[in-house]
Amino acid sequence: MSRPSRAETPLALVRRARAVNRRLALAYPDARCELDFATPLELLVATVLSAQCTDVRVNQVTPELFARFPDAGAYAAADPEEIEEIIRPTGFFRAKTKSIQGLARLLVERHDGQVPGRLEDLVVLPGVGRKTANVVLGSAFGVPGLTVDTHFGRLARRLGWTTETDPVKVERAVGELIERNEWTMVSHRLVIHGRRVCFARRPACGACPVAQLCPSYGEGVTDPERAAAMVKPGPPRG
């Protein structure tokens, strides 16, 4: 199988990156944020909980959490042990409780209890960095953003979109390749692709929908049947 040249021109790189995004869109038509939420605050809290934890596990604890604490004021006024007990299964529950209560207090003090829709206001909240802010902006407010998590960064490098390892630099590099209105969706698609097919240690290259466009093809299993057996299904949709 022919592969893209590692010395491709900037224009060729842009065209290839956008072609990859189009193929991933066809491969994952149901791509979306895999955290369950109904409001921007619920998504913000769920994203804080997702650090070092799977989305599936977070979705198991948030129904009780969201029912018990329906707004920022409720989180701010809560006994920390109440929150800790509910979110314990997500790990690092004391630190996460501190972040949730800290951001809730700032929301009450500065934003009338509402989650702001601007990056600069979100990143100053406790426990909220650019990744979390872009998740909230993209999925709760419809503001395009690139969410550079472990999967996104790994795939961006494996696809030859960038050699950077710093998340902010990866975000900037990919932002120059992909159309702005596609930033949120390409984030979802890369994360899903990284979880289901393009694994860190041994990707399922033979079952990859973008194999022909990937300069790293061959780093993993290329036999179609063996690769197909490696592919992980997505989570059930409610």
DSSP characters over 13-73: HHHHHHHHHHHHHHH-TT----S--SSHHHHHHHHHHTTTS-HHHHHHHHHHHHHH--SHH
Dump pLDDT digits (tens) for 36-64.
999 999 999 999 999 999 999 999 999 99
Which H or E run includes 74? helix 72-77
Q: Could you say which of 131, 166, 223, 232 is catalytic?
A: 131
Confidence of residue 234 (pLDDT cuts 50, 70, 90): confident
Q: Could you say which of 30, 98, 112, 149 is catalytic?
A: 149
Active site residue 232: no
Dump pLDDT digits (tens) for 65-101.
999 999 999 999 999 999 999 999 999 999 999 999 9
What is residue 93's predicted lDDT score, i.e. its pLDDT?
97
What is residue 3's predicted lDDT score, i.e. its pLDDT?
60
Report residue 153 as tokens.
């960064």
- According to DSSP, residue 182 is labeled G
Residue 16 has pLDDT above 60, yes or no: yes
Give the pLDDT mean for 10-33.
Answer: 96
Distance CA 58, CA 83 (A): 13
Residue 24 has pLDDT above 50, yes or no: yes
Dump pLDDT digits (tens) for 131-176.
999 999 999 999 999 999 888 999 999 999 999 999 999 999 999 9
> How many residues belong to the chain?
238
* Mean pLDDT value across the chain: 94
What is residue 88's predicted lDDT score, i.e. its pLDDT?
97
Q: Nearest Cα to 94, choosing from 108, 81, 112, 76?
A: 81
Report residue 142 as tokens.
């419809």
Active site residue 79: no
Q: Nearest Cα to 19, choosing from 188, 230, 186?
A: 186
